[in-house]
Amino acid sequence: MNGSGSRVLVADDNAVDRKLLAKIVGKAGFEVVEAVDGNDAVAKYYSEKPDLVLLDALMPGRDGFSVAREIKAHDVDEFVPIIFLTSLTEAEDLARCVDAGGDDFLSKPYNHVLLRAKLLAMQRMRETNQTMQLQRDEIARHHMQLVADQKVAKAVFDNVAHTRNLETSYIKYLLSPLAMFNGDVLLAAQNPAKSVYVLLGDFTGHGLAAAIGTMPLADVFYSMTAKGFTLSQIIKECNRKLGSVLPPGYFCCATALMLDFNRCTVEVWNGGLPSAYLRKAGSDEIRLLASNHLPLGISPADKFDDSTLVYEVELGDRLFLATDGVIESRNAMGEYFGSDKLESIIRSAPPHDLFDSVQRAVNGYVDEEGREDDLTMVEIAVVTPDQVEAAEIIDDVVALGGPRDWKFCYELGPQSLKDFNPLPLLQQVLMGAPYLRARATAIYAVLAELYSNALEHGVLGLRSEMKSSAEGFSAYYAARAQALECVHGFVRFDFKCELIEDEVDLSISVTDSGGGFDHANYLTRAKNAADAATGYHGRGIRLLWDLCSSVRYVGSGNQIDVAMHWNVNDE
């Protein structure tokens, strides 16, 4: 009594057998459809769509084997069980039933108990099969949805972690096409002074979980770079941001660089990535920029170490960075490429061919199937400042209005000088006057130069001659850090700005608490050296001469006044 209304097709040319079967099957709770021969069986199969079939093997016209083959071929996904009815007893004949698609057989005389048991068993199997199909279809639907979702996610990801700023004459890069799924990220941006910031990152994990951290990271990186924040400030905020959004156990190994082509310096912060390399242009000398911090997203904000290392660079020097995909590439025997091999290539390749040499070496080493992490690597060459394009000025405020005649004074005392960089804030105030935005880059560069001179030479009393030699360079920055610890004094900015008709007049005066210096002598020497363009010191003043219409030291030299003047209709 538990056929649950499933429909059974009974096909037997013998009326006696057929009637007996119909009775047994009906009593077992099934609905019965009768067929009198092979052709009738096929026709009833299509028209009545039975759930199970009882099929006589030998029938006139079309025999049971042929009917079974057609039924089984009709819908391969659908499982319609076939029980052969036969008084054939030879093993060969029974095997023939199974070959034709029979799932079971029943011999004569029909045992009604056995038949009922077989029908119910077959029905159970049919129901299992149907459940599996529903589940399979549901899985397929889910999969299609996931694929569609991923496409959208990838489009957003590609816009956020875009590589537009990497398309320059001085950058060569390889970003794994699977970056979205293996957690690699490579970002570059120019700041208002046309310094180039680069961030290479490798998030833990795989798939979307790894990639999703890229969004807040890129957001912080781009917006802070555009506003002129220092590398330390940016990396500190990246750490805080990732710490707040990533779950425990997730972090981002990263190396951040700031290249200042005007001052010929590179500033580095490396937390958790393999060593980056600085390859000198003229020799095979290389400097390892090893990881000396925890990756981003681990340390709490107050314990985060944002200290960076600064190196002097020359035209033609190259910086090479890569995620661990390079050194973990494996050959056919499962051996790793390794950092020794990478270092030796970086040392021995000709500088102009550095990036390609590494890429060729890795591709040659790796066996196709051995590729685990796809490669992400970048090389930045030190070039002249004119090669750097200005950052796009995204002006979302209509450039009308703003103050047309204004002035303000901003002074920093010792506590601020120690660990606060006022440049982004001052730049933002100045950009509140829309007509100044066209010169954002120049203004920022001037502010940066004036401030660093006032702080380092004026207040801290550091001599720029110290930077000339190689040891002097790191010694200079060490001395700077030390002096800041016990700084006293002040730096004051005085701004005055007027827009009259279409003429802009911006005056910037910076005063420090230092004793001043022999500025007359300094200016003379700098003017003579202008054509020779040698020596580190002197570069700063030449930058000011380029960008300002006038530059004047006042009093003992602890005050410098510069003016910038232009017509809004210029360029």
Partner 1 sequence: MSKILNEALLEELKMIMEEDFSDLMNTFLEESVRQYNQAKSAWEDDDFASLRLSIHTLKGSCANVGAETLHKTCARLEELATAGLRDEVPELLACAFEQLADVQNRIKTL
Answer for which of 8, 10, 11, 20 binds partner 1 (CB under 8 A) is: 20
Answer for which of 2, 4, 87, 307 binds partner 1 (CB under 8 A) is: 87
Report the sign of the C-alpha dihedral through residues 29, 33, 34, 38, in that order: negative
Selection from 135, 231, 194, 144 nearest residue 446 by Cα: 194
Answer for which of 17, 40, 202, 267 binds partner 1 (CB under 8 A) is: 17
Query: Which of 13, 306 has the CB closer to partner 1?
Result: 13
CB 321 within 8 A of CB 276: yes
Query: Which of 19, 124 has the CB closer to partner 1?
Result: 19
The 3-state DSSP class for residue 491 equals: strand
The 3-state DSSP class for residue 236 equals: helix
What is the secondary structure of 410-439 as a DSSP string? EEE-HHHHHH---HHHHHHHHTTSGGGGGG
Shortest distance, position 86 Cβ to partner 1, whole Å: 9
> How many amino acids of this chain bind partner 1 (CB under 8 A)?
17
Selection from 449, 448, 436, 450 nearest residue 393 by Cα: 436
Cβ neighbours for 46, distance < 8 A, ≥ 6 positions apart: none
Q: Which stretch binds partner 1 (CB under 8 A): 20-28, 124-132, 289-297, 552-560?
A: 20-28
Name which of residues 112 to 141 contact partner 1 (CB under 8 A): 112
Shortest distance, position 80 Cβ to partner 1, whole Å: 24
Answer for which of 72, 96, 108, 480 binds partner 1 (CB under 8 A) is: 108
Query: Which of 27, 74 has the CB closer to partner 1?
Result: 27
Kindly state whether residue 96 participates in binding partner 1, applying the rule CB under 8 A: no
> For residues 270 and 253, what is the distance between their CA atoms, to the nearest angstrom?
8
Q: Give 3-state DSSP helix, strand, coil % of the chain, rounded to 5.
A: 45, 20, 35
Shortest distance, position 146 Cβ to partner 1, whole Å: 55
Answer for which of 31, 70, 94, 110 binds partner 1 (CB under 8 A) is: 110
The 3-state DSSP class for residue 309 equals: strand
> For residues 38 and 60, what is the distance between their CA atoms, to the nearest angstrom?
7
Q: What track of x and - describes contact with partner 1 for positions 141 through 180 (by CB under 8 A)?
A: ----------------------------------------
Shortest distance, position 105 Cβ to partner 1, whole Å: 14
Shortest distance, position 15 Cβ to partner 1, whole Å: 5
Shortest distance, position 55 Cβ to partner 1, whole Å: 14
Strand order in the sheet with 318-322: 171-174, 377-381, 318-322, 276-279, 286-289
Query: Which of 107, 150 has the CB closer to partner 1?
Result: 107
Question: What are the E-state strand segments in 290-351?
Answer: 309-312, 318-322
Q: Which stretch binds partner 1 (CB under 8 A): 105-113, 121-129, 169-177, 526-534?
A: 105-113
Q: Which stretch binds partner 1 (CB under 8 A): 104-112, 152-160, 277-285, 440-448?
A: 104-112
Shortest distance, position 70 Cβ to partner 1, whole Å: 21
> For residues 376 and 156, what is the distance between their CA atoms, to the nearest angstrom?
20
Shortest distance, position 110 Cβ to partner 1, whole Å: 6
Query: Which of 19, 352 has the CB closer to partner 1?
Result: 19
Query: Which of 92, 386 has the CB closer to partner 1?
Result: 92
Cβ neighbours for 488, distance < 8 A, ≥ 6 positions apart: 414, 513
Q: Where are the alpha helices (DSSP H) in 105-253?
A: 112-160, 179-182, 207-211, 214-227, 231-245
Query: Which of 16, 152 has the CB closer to partner 1?
Result: 16
Name which of residues 21 to 80 contact partner 1 (CB under 8 A): 23-24, 27, 58, 60
Please state whether the peptide bond connecting residue 216 to the residue before it is cis, i.e. omega within 30 degrees of 0. Answer: no
Shortest distance, position 12 Cβ to partner 1, whole Å: 8
Q: Which stretch binds partner 1 (CB under 8 A): 10-18, 199-207, 312-320, 325-333?
A: 10-18
Kindly state whether residue 16 participates in binding partner 1, applying the rule CB under 8 A: yes
Query: Which of 58, 153 has the CB closer to partner 1?
Result: 58
Cβ neighbours for 509, distance < 8 A, ≥ 6 positions apart: 493, 494, 495, 554, 559, 560, 561, 562
Shortest distance, position 144 Cβ to partner 1, whole Å: 52
Shortest distance, position 4 Cβ to partner 1, whole Å: 21
CB 297 within 8 A of CB 242: yes
Report the sign of the C-alpha dihedral through residues 452, 448, 278, 469, in that order: negative
Crossing angle for the helix pair 539-547 and 519-532, to the nearest 10 degrees:
90
Kindly state whether residue 207 participates in binding partner 1, applying the rule CB under 8 A: no
Residue 207 token pair: 């798939």
Q: Which stretch binds partner 1 (CB under 8 A): 11-19, 162-170, 231-239, 512-520?
A: 11-19
Residues making contact with partner 1 (CB under 8 A) = 13-17, 19-20, 23-24, 27, 58, 60, 87, 108-110, 112
